[in-house]
Structure 1
Amino acid sequence: MLPASLHATFEPDPHHPSHGRMLLWGGDDPATDAATLGLPPGDPATAHILQGDELVETDVLALPARPAAAGMIHLADRIDIAPSLAAWGRVASAVRDRHFDILDKIAEELPIEGHSAADPEGHVWTARAAVAAFVESHAELGQPDSGLSLALTTAQHALPETPRVQATLRPYQANGIAWLQTATDNGAGVVLADDMGLGKTLQSIGLLAARSTGEQTHLVVCPTSVVGNWQRELARFAPQLTTHLHHGPKRRKRADELLDADVIITSYSLALRDRKLLGRVCWDTVILDEAQTVKNHRSQTSKAVRGLTSRQHIALTGTPVENRLAELWAIMEFVNPGLLGTQADFKRRFTDPIEIGRDPNAARELRELIGPVVLRRLKEDVAADLPKKLESVVVCTMTAEQGKLYKEAVADAFDSGLGDGIARRGNILKLLTRLKQICNHPVQAGPAKDNSHDFDYDHEPEDNLGLADRSGKLDRIAAMLAEVIDSGDRALIFTQYRTMGELLATHIREQLNINAPFLHGGVDQMGRDRMVQHFQTEEGPGVLLVSLKAGGTGLNLTAASHVFHYDRWWNPAVEDQATDRAHRIGQTRTVHVHKLVTAGTLEERIDELLMRKRALADAIVGESEEWLTELDDTQLRKLIELDEDEVAQ
C-alpha cells in the first residue's frame, strides 16, 4: 500500500550515469504534491519500488538529477515533509556547496523509502550507493568526456524528431532544435548563442512545440520591447500553442490562472515585480531572451529569474559569452547552477588566468567545459544555408508614455475634426507624422507640432534628454546594435526624420560608446563622400545613420551586413532602394534587413497590409502616404487607433 505522503528515491543507471533519475512517489497525486512543494515538473513513469517487504510496480514522477537537485535544495530543513524528501534535500544542498565529506553521514540518515528503487535484477539500492549514483549523475555535465556531454555535443549536428513548427528549417536550425531537445530530456540547462538573425527564437519555439502536450506551461522572459514580437512569432510558427501576455494593469493575479496557456510571455521588469506569483508556478521550460540582461548576478532581476522553478532553463543571447567571463558565469548560474563553481572559484580558475594572464590552457579548459551546453554558430559558419538577403519585421512594444501620447493625438485629431478636401488631406498627413514620431520616441514627437522630415528640421536635439526606457523601438535597436558590434559586424540605420537621426546618434554614443555619423540632407557633397569612404574602410565606424531621402540611392555601403529601417516609408520600393546600399555588387556576406514597427499601432497594421499585398504594394501606396488621406473617418480610425493591450506597463 502506498504511503500517505510524497517520498523521494533515486534510481541509478549503472551503464549510463546521466540517465539516473529522481523518483517521487506516494501520496494521492505525486505531480500535485510535488508542485505544492515547489519541485520542478517531471515525467510520469513506473518503477519497481520496495513497499513493505515486496517490490511493487509503482506510478512515479521522474526527474533528471540536475533539475531535481535545484528544486530539492530548499527542502533540506523542512520538518513537515517525509524524511526521505528532506534527506534528499540535504544531499542536493551538500552537492551544490561541494560538501562531499558529509554525504556519508546523510546517507546513514536516509530512510528505506529514500533508497527503495530496485535495479533490473530486483536488488534494492543501498543508501550509500543511491547517494553516490546521484552525485555521479549530477556531475556528468561538468565532465567534457562524460556520456551526457558527448550526447549534447553529438546532438549539435543531429536532426530532431518531426519538427512541429510551421516553417522551413535551415539545417543548422534543425540541429539547434535537436540539441535543445536532447538537453531538455537530460535535464541540462543550455545557452543558445547564435549570431543575431540566425533564428534563436524559431529554434526555441521548435523546442516548446515539441514539448507541449497540453499538460505543460512554459515561460518566456524577454525585454519589454519584444514581448509582442514573441507572441507573433509563436502564432506564426506554432499556432497550435496557446499564448498569454503577462503584462499590463489587468494581468493575472493568481498562479492557477497562468496554467491555462501553453506559453506565458512576460518582461524582465514584471519577472521582478511579480516574482512571488511567477515563483509559485512549476514551469516546464523557462527561456530568457536577451539573457545578457541578467549579467549582473547581484541584481534583483537576476535573483528573481534564478528563483523560478522549472524543469529546464534556457538562455538566448547573441552576445559572445565566451569573451565576457563575468557575464558567462551569471548566465550559466541561471541555466546550470553550480556548474562553473562559485563566482570566487570561477574568478580564480578562469577569469584571472584568461583575462589577466592570457593563459591558453585555462581558455581551452573553459571551452571544453561549456562546449556541450553553449551553442554558438556565426553567420560565416552557416553561410551555405543562408540567402544573400534575410528580411525580418521586428515588432516593438510601446512604452506607457508613448501609449498616452498616441491616444491623445488620435483623440485630439478626431475631436477637432479632420475637415474636407485639401485641408483634410493635410490634417491626416500631419496626424500620421505625429503618430509615427511618437512610435519613434516621445522626445522626437515633442509638442503637438510637425518636426517632420529632415528638410524641415531647424534645431539640434539637446544632450542628456533621458532617452533610454522611453521608447520600445529605441531600446530594441540599442540591444540589437550591441550584438552587431560585439560580433564584429557593421550596420546602417535609415530614418526619414533628421530629428530622430540626431537622437539615435546621441543614444548610440551614450549607450554603446560609438560615434555614429549621420548622413542627411544638410551634409554637403564633400562631407557625404568622406562619410561613405570612411565607413567603407576597416577603421570605419560600426554604425552609420542615413536619412532615407538623402541616402536612399547612389551610395555604395557594402561594409554593412545589417540594415535597420527605424521608421517606415510604407513604400516597399523606396525601402528596397535603401537596403540596396548594402545589398549590391561587392557585398560578399548575407545582409540582414530589420524593419522596426510598433505593436498595436498604425505601423503594425500598415506593415501587415503591405505584407499581404506585396505584389500590389506600389500601386496601393504610390510614392508616399497620400493614399491614406483617401480613407474615410471610420477606415482611418480603424487603421490608427491604439490597441492598448500592446502597451507595456
Structure 2
Amino acid sequence: MPEPESPASGARGATVAAATDGTDWRARLEGLTGARADAAVAGERPLGLQFELRRRVLRRPGQFQGARDEPARRAASVDRLGVRPVTRGSRGAWIKAGLTWQNIAYQGESGGYDPAQARWFAQFAALKGSPAGGIPTWGSELITVDEYASPLFWALLAEARRLGVHLVGADATPDVRLAAAAWVGLEATVDAEGALALVPTVDVDGAASTVEHARAVGEHGVYRFDFDTGVIELAPVAGGATSAQLALLGGADVLHVPAADLDEFLRAHHRVLARTLPIRSSDGSFAPPPAPPADLVLTATHAPAGSLRLAWAWDHGDGRTSPLAASVDPVRFDGEPVEARAAVIAAAVGVLAGFEADRDETAERVRAVLEHARDDEVELHDADAAAFADRVVPRLEALGRVRVEVVGDPPDFRELTDRPTFTVTTVESRQADWFDLGVLVTVAGRTVPFMPLFRALSTGARRLKLVDNSYLSLRRPEFDELRELLDEAGTLAEWETGMRIHRSRASLWADFEDLADAAEPAVSWRATVAGLADDAAVEPLPEPDGLALPLRPYQLDGFRWLAFLWRHRLGGILADDMGLGKTAQTLALVQHAVEAQGRGAPFLVVAPTSVASNWVREAARFTPGLRAASVAATEGAGRPTIAEVAADADLVITTYAVLRLDADAFAALEWGGLVLDEAQFVKNPATKAHEAARGIRAPFRLAVTGTPVENHLGELWAILNLVAPGLFPSRRAFDERFRRPIEEDGNAERRDLLRRRIRPLMLRRTKEAVAPELPPKQEQVLTVALAPRHRRLYDATLQRERQKLLDLLDDDLDRQRFIVYRSLTLLRMLALDASLIDERHAGMPSAKLDALFEQLDDVLAEGHRALVFSQFTSFLGRVAGRLEAEGVPYAYLDGATPARARDEEVARFRSGAASVFCISLKAGGFGLNLTEADYVFLLDPWWNPASEQQAVDRAHRIGQDRRVMVYRLVAEGTIEEKVMALKARKGELVASVLDGDPGATDAALSAADVRELLDG
C-alpha cells in the first residue's frame, strides 16, 4: 500500500500539475521576468496614453470666453501635443470613457483597471506639475507634452511599456512611436560653387528631416509629426536641448553663406555659432576650421550685496573649457606652445599690478592667482569691487585673447574725481563747555556720510564707496589734512557715539573751520534767537490796509504770529488744518511787509504745479494791490528771466519743478521772504527740490502745510532744516535724540521735549478748535464682500505674495522695499477690481464698484453732489466709464490732467454742470476748494492718514454749510481691513508730536507692519 502524502508533498504535486497544465504560464512568466501580459487577458480593462496634436482657435471679437482648444488637422495649425488617459471601448476603439487626469488616480480596481497602471497615470500628472498660479494654460482635459519640464518623462514612457500601458494616437495621427535618440542642429553642405548652406535639421534615430514638423518636449526632447503617414515620433535629446536648439524647432530658415563670404563666416562667426548649436556635415562637404587658440576668461560675478567674485579659466571656443591650472598641459590646448599662453597671463598680470585694494593681501591674492596658475576664487567688497569693475575690467577687455564675462546685474560704478568740499558746524552740547561737531563732505554734488568716511580714514582705506555705487579715492591731498585733524580730535571709539570737541580746543576748531569751504547758517540763526528780548511777544497788529477781505479771528491771530516771525527774521511752519485759510494768512503777511518797509525784494512762493494758479487767484482776491507774478516755466528764449520778473513784483509764484530746474537763477537773487506751500514736497532732504529751496537767500522762511509729518519724524526735520536751520542742525543728532527714541521706543519724555522745542516755531490749529461754525462731518466705513470668484482669486494671490514677502522680510526691509510695495500694491488693486491686475479677469464683477454706485444712486437722486477719490487712476477710470455709461455728468482730475484742463474741470463741478467729481488722491488731495460737494467716497484706504484727511477737507472746509458725509469703502477680508487698523496707529505719531496726544508710534512702514498686512 502506498504511503499517504504529507501536506508538503501534496503542495508540490499541485504545483507540478498547475505548471504542466499550461493555462497560467503567462502569469507565472510575468512573475519571473517582471513583464506584464496584456491586461485584457487578466480580465482588466486596458489603459492607454493617447497623443493628439492640438490647435488654439481664438474667439470672435466681442466674445468673452477664452480661446478654444481643438484637434489640429494641418501641420501649420499645430500649437501643442496633448496627452490624456483613454481605455479601449467595446468596438475596439480608444475612448475617454469618463477618464480624466483628476479621477484616474483613484479609479484603479474599482473601475476595472489595473491599479499599477492607474498609479502610473497619477505619477505622470504629478511630475508634470502645475503652471504658475495653478490655472492650466490650455484647460485641464489634456496635459501638454511641450511644457513637460521633468526629464523623467522618458523614463515614465519606458515604464508605461513595462506596465502594459499603450501609447496610442488620435484620428489624424494614429501611430505613436518612441525612438531612442534625437539630434537637433544644423546640417552643413557646400555646393559645387563653394556656397555653404546650414539647414536646421532634426534627426530621430538616424532619420533626418527639416524642423517644420518638430516641436520641443520641455528642454529635454522632441516630437516629430507627419499628417500624411499619421505618425508621431518622440525621442530624448542627449544631455538636454539648449535654448538655441529649442529655437530651431517649429521652423527656421536655411542659412545661406555665399562662397565669397565663406572665409569671413569661418573666421568671425563659425566659432560663436558652434558654441550654441551642433553643426554636422553628413556628406562630408564641409570641414570646420581648426580650433583657435584658447582665450583667458575672467568670470566677474556681481552679488546682490555689492561684492564681486573673480574666477579665471580657459575657453577653447568650441564648448570646451579648462581650469587655469591646466595652462601647462599641451594636450588640452591643442598643442599650442606653453610660452604663448604664458604671454597672455603675463599681460593680464601687468594690468592687475596697478590694482590696489584696501588690504595689501587682497590685491596680492588677485595677482597671485594668475601668476601661479591657481584656480582660487577671489571675492572683493565695497569700494574694492567698484574700483576693479570700473577701472581694471575695461583694461583687461582691451587685451588680446582675454575676455571678461560679467554675471549678474553690474551696478553703475563710477569714480568721483571732483575736488571734495567741506562744511563744518558746531552745535551746543548738553554737557557744559562742549560742542557737537558736524563735518559735511560733498563731492560732485553728492553728500558723503561722515561716519563711514571717518572709519575709512581711520583704518587707512584707499577709497570709499557711496550708496549710489559711486566711489572716491581717499588718497587725495584734501583728505590728508582731514585725517590728521580727526586723529587729533579723538579715537574712532570715542566718535562712534557722537562727534564732540571741547571749548578749550579753540585752535583745533579753527583748523576745522579753515578746512571747510562753507559755513552752515546755524551760527547766525542762533545769534538771531539769542538777540530776542526776554519780553518779546506777538503784537496785536491790525489787519493790513491793503487786505480786500476781512480775516476771521483765528486767521488774524495767525497773521500776527507770522508778522512776529518776519520782524525777528525767524522762520516757522504754518500747520493749520486743511481748509482754514493758510493762503489768506500768508498773503496778509506779504501785504504787511510791503506796507511796513516799502517795495523791496519780493517774496517768493513755491507751490505744487496744481496749486500755483490758485495762489495767483487768491492774491488778486485778498491783496489786489500786490504786484503778483507767476513763473510757470523755466528760463528760455522769448520768456523774461526770473530776475526781470522779480524786479517788477512784490510776490513771485513758481512751482517746485521750475525751482528745481532753475535753482541757480533763483539762488542768484535776494528775496524778501520764502514761502514753501504744501511743504511736504520738500520733506526729503536728498531731493533736488530740497537742495534748491535751501539755496534761496531770504531773511524769512515759511513752510505752509497741514501735514508736516506724513510718514516719519525725519520729514519734520527736513522742513525745519529749511525754515529754522539752527534748531536741529544735525540730522544725525536729531535721529539719535528724538526720532529713534520716539518712533522705536515710544519715549514720552523725548516726545514732550520735541513738542516743546518746535512749538514756538509752529502754529497749528484744528477746525474743531477755531471753526466751530463748520457743519458736522460724519464718517462711516462700508464693508464690501467680494464675489465668490473674486474671493478665490484674491486668496490664492495673497498666499503666493505672502510666501514671497515673508522670506524677504527676514532681510533688511529697506533693501527689499520696492518688491514689498509692489506686492502690497498688487493686493490693494486686486481688492478693488481683478481686471486691474490682468485684463483676462475683465468679466469678473467688482463688488467695490457696485457698492459705490448703489450709494451714488441714492445720493444723486436726492440732489446731493459727491467727490470720489482713489489712489489708482486705472480704477478711477472704471468709475468714470460707468458714470458715462449711465449718463451721469461728471468731472475728472488726475496727475495727467494739464493745468488748463484742471481749472476747467473744477469750474464745471463748481458750476453744477457735473454732479460727481472723480479725483486721484495725488492730484487732488490739496489746493482745491470744493464745498459744493457734501458727500465724499474714499475707494481705497492707505496707511498714511494725512492723504485721506486732505481729500475729505476738499469739501469739509470754510464755506461749507451742509453736513459732510464721508464713506470709506473697505473690501471685507482683504488687505484693506489691515490697512484701516494700521492707519489708525500711524496717525497717533502725528497727533502725539503736533497736537499733544499720547501714544506715539512709528509712522513709517516697518517689517512688522508688512507682516500684519499679509496676515490672512
Flag whether TM exceeds 0.5 (same fold).
no
Name the TM-score, length of structure 1 as normaliser: 0.43
Query: Greater share of strand residues, 1 or 2?
Result: 2
Name the TM-score, length of structure 2 as normaliser: 0.29
Q: Name which structure has the greater RCO, CA cutoff 8 Å, separation 6+.
A: 1
Query: Greater share of helix residues, 1 or 2?
Result: 1
Bigger radius of gyration:
2
